[in-house]
Amino acid sequence: MKFLRAQFGFVVSLFLAAPLFAREPAAPAKDFTHETPRQIEARLKWWSDARFGMFIHWGLYSQAAGYWDGKPTSGAGEWIMNDMKIPDSQYAKLVPQFNPVQFNARQWVRIAKAAGMKYIVITSKHHDGFGMFRSDMTDWCIKSTPFQRDPLKELSQACQAEGVKLCFYHSIMDWHHPDYLPRKPWNDLASPNPNFDNYVAYMKGELKELLTRYGPLGILWFDGEWEDTWTPERGEDLYNYVRGLQPDIIVNNRVGKARAGMNGMNKNGDRVGDYGTPEQQIPATGFGPGVYWESCMTMNDTWGYKKNDNDWKSAETLVRNLIDCASKGGNYLLNVGPTGEGLIPEPSVERLQQVGAWMKINHDAIYGTSASPFSKLVWGRCTSRTTSTGTTLYLHVFDWPTNGQLIIPGLKSPVTKAYLLKSNSLGWHKRLKTIPAADSLTISVPAAAPDQFSSTIVLKLTGTPKAE
Ligand code: GLC
């Protein structure tokens, strides 16, 4: 009895003490925004070396497939709720329909990996606010669908098994949450007294789930930061919050307010977020060392699946876009929009296989490379790799010369070796003759291009390249 009383007293005093603990000021959040350039470089290294990733837009909108009440939407598939002014209560009809039984995480990851992609960025939540994971914060997520499974858990397991980095796209803008502001006029579920701070606390709760339950993540890819309610201070706070939960994670610049529209780069000195996000475009030139960026692009004209969008880019364009980004020191994030059944559309799979076949031969000319030392090359692009023993230039020839002579204007460094990256059936690389002149180099090349998309010539130089 005495013992029990003692216990009781202990519990009571704990209970009484609890409010005191609660009043204790919270430990100041660590500030991750003042790293040195070398610290940033080290944290971003796996990602800059990777150069190529897969974007996946997948959500309730995939089930709508670009149609509402039999009418096609004119914009992107994932914007259908906004563009067709669908009230939340109506949009919610997609929930019982969403049952992507054909989804196979291992297959998706293998499709990405076989294409040469080293990371996957998938929508954990898009602007419609619907969570593609089993959240304890809300019912507006996958657990309310007949599917019941957690696709992000399955992807995290598949990515770990295949050695691909898993990353999440998470929208700051939320068309569903009752406290989100500015309130959308068609949000018939919005609270009469919305409180944006409540929304931010909710979003952080979701992010905590994502950052603590799905293993180490590569990137948090924010979006929808452009509305007035989102401020630079909130951006900085969110950046620190995310890094506090996974210190090595990379965060894109859409966490803050500095992005200059679709060109994606920061318009002023604010440097919240680790890298720029050009959208549907590749910058005309790179930005030099220490400025990181990744162009995200669609394969047809939509991010989220639309069954009537057949405007597919060719595999040649996709390969050349990847080379173009790498030659300017950037990454290429190429999108697929799986269907409501859980399948990556066949035209996307076919193209990714073709890109993969090119990467199988040419990956050395992409992974871990740096930008071109040339300001312009009329026949194609160049990537480079400098080590303590010298520099390798990879010449990506889009327009193969018809006269057997490839001219590299402005190259003033002595060349020790030149050869085709693609080997013959015996595994030999064809050596190429080089003829130096005062301000250019001529390479004698075979009559026919070795590769229909882009052929790679390897040039070995001593020292760092002197080029114009
Ligand atoms: C945009 C769109 C969005 C898409 C994204 C990809 O900001 O709002 O639908 O997810 O860009 O970069």
pLDDT in tens, 7-62: 443 333 333 333 334 444 455 578 999 899 999 999 999 999 999 999 999 999 99
- Residue 429 pairs in a beta bridge with 423
The region that residue 461 occupies, defined by phi over 0 for left and psi between -120 and 50 for alpha, beta otherwise, is beta
Does residue 318 contact residue 351 with C-beta atoms inside 8 Å? yes
Closest CA to 174 of 137, 213, 219, 120: 137
Work out the pLDDT band at 94, boundaries 50, 70, 90: very high
How many angstroms separate the alpha carbon of residue 353 from the centre of ligand 1? 25
pLDDT digit string (tens) for 406-441?
A: 999 988 888 999 999 999 888 899 999 999 988 899
- Distances in whole angstroms, Cα of residue 286 to Cα of each of 118, 229, 324, 376, 415: 22, 32, 10, 12, 25
- On the question of a cis peptide bond just before residue 401, with omega within 30 degrees of 0, the verdict is no
The encoded tokens of residue 206 equal 């979701």
Work out the pLDDT band at 220, boundaries 50, 70, 90: very high
Question: Ligand 1: does its nearest atom lie under 6 Å from the Cβ of 334?
Answer: no
How many angstroms separate the alpha carbon of residue 240 from the centre of ligand 1? 23
Instruction: Characterize 216-241 residue by residue with b for buried, 16 or more Cβ atoms within 10 angstroms of its Cβ, and e for exposed.
Output: ebbbbbbbbbeeeebeeebbbbbbbb
Residue nearest to atom 5 of ligand 1 (CA): 223
Question: Ligand 1: does its nearest atom lie under 6 Å from the Cβ of 296?
Answer: yes
Global confidence as pTM: 0.93
Question: Ligand 1: does its nearest atom lie under 6 Å from the Cβ of 83?
Answer: no
* C-alpha triplet 367, 369, 371: angle, nearest 5°: 135
Question: Ligand 1: does its nearest atom lie under 6 Å from the Cβ of 81?
Answer: no
Backbone angles phi, psi at 460, to 5 degrees: -100, 130
pLDDT over 70, % of the chain: 94
